[in-house]
Structure 1
Amino acid sequence: MSNTKFNTAETEFKTAIHDEQKQFSSKDFHKTFARPVFVKPPYLVHRNVEHAGEHNQFSTERKHPVFFVDLPSKNVSMTIGGLLPGQLTNKHRHTYETVLYVLEGKGYTEIEGEKIEWQKGDAVYIPSWAWHRHQNLSDAESAKYIACENAPQLQNLGVALREEEGRDL
């Protein structure tokens, strides 16, 4: 390769690296180059999640215990939800998807009027913007589930919304 070609390629590469560090609009799409870089987050584990305590505001708003798994993900979140014996949550909806994995108990999730029964070991999908609520069918035992959501991704894009039935956005 001649020096001229090498220098041109080096200059284009340096320009591309510089361009990656600025904000782009749609007209600049041809200037973006995928250059993944591993950036180690400050921590990779959240030990004893439930011992860290309930998230007071969320637990109060949802009317059941909620424990946030505090990890540095920018795209997915995980919470541990609990339903007291016989408890029925408020009907709500949000722009993010949810997958529930049932750890303990037996109940149902009502999604847009359809009752989906679940028990320990089951997984339930809640589509975005679907009205839903959860019911523990036992009058004696609590129910517990893990909820995985893409809420952080939508929050980072500025489009995450949540609405409780009967309240304005």
Structure 2
Amino acid sequence: MKTTAATKEQLSSKDFHQTFARPNYVRPEKFIHKNVEQAGVHNQFSTERKHPVFFVDLPTRNVSMTIGGLLPGQLTNKHRHTYETVLFVIEGKGYTEIEGEKVEWQAGDAVYIPVWAWHRHQNLSDTEPAKYIACENAPQLQHLGVALREEEGRDL
């Protein structure tokens, strides 16, 4: 059965076998976000997180990427979310506390933060900033309506 706009409206749960998803190419509005950090810090997000955050503004639907920074000696708020995060440390040395466990990192390391785990980040240098790339599946969960983030002390 070929689905058309008219038949799509008539399908129900019993009709899953009749819907055949076929991928098709849709050109995104853009392929590149040049000079990510030159676009400026996302003020509201950075203020809430208490550290600089730069969004990579590309039309992804399943994963997001941000460049995060920690100022010298900075410790972020403890928070948790329903999406997974992988941090790739570009520069600096510090740790991420995950559910009370300290995971030390330095430039070149990747750190995994599981779903719904309380965590925060600390830059161990008092003189040099730390920087990382954060990849998350937040957009996918946002489209499903199940992305949730809590800040300790604010949301509880």
TM-score between the two structures when normalised by the length of structure 2: 0.94
- Give the unaligned 5+ runs of structure 1: 1-11
Q: Give the corresponding residue for 2:146.
A: 159
Q: Give the corresponding residue for 1:114.
A: 101
Q: Give the corresponding residue for 1:41.
A: 28
- Give the unaligned 5+ runs of structure 2: none
Q: CA deviation at 1:34?
A: 1.8
1:56 maps to which of 32, 35, 43? 43
Greater Rg by CA: 1
Residue 94 of structure 2 aligns with an amino acid whose one-letter code is G
Q: Give the corresponding residue for 1:3.
A: none
Question: After superposition, what is the alpha-carbon deviation per residue over 1:8-29, rounded to whole angstroms, capped at 9, x for unaligned?
Answer: xxxx33xx24478548653221
CA distance in 2, matches of 1:21, 1:145: 44
Higher helix share: 1
Contact persistence 1:19–1:32 (CA under 8 A): no
CA distance in 2, matches of 1:88, 1:18: 52
Contact persistence 1:95–1:160 (CA under 8 A): yes
Question: After superposition, what is the alpha-carbon deviation per residue over 1:83-112, rounded to whole angstroms, capped at 9, x for unaligned?
Answer: 001100000000000000000000000000
Contact persistence 1:99–1:149 (CA under 8 A): yes
Runs of 4+, deviation exceeding 2 Å: 16-28
1:128 maps to which of 107, 110, 115? 115
SS in 2 for 1:57: helix
Q: Give the corresponding residue for 2:53.
A: 66
Q: How many residues align?
A: 156
Q: Give the corresponding residue for 1:99.
A: 86
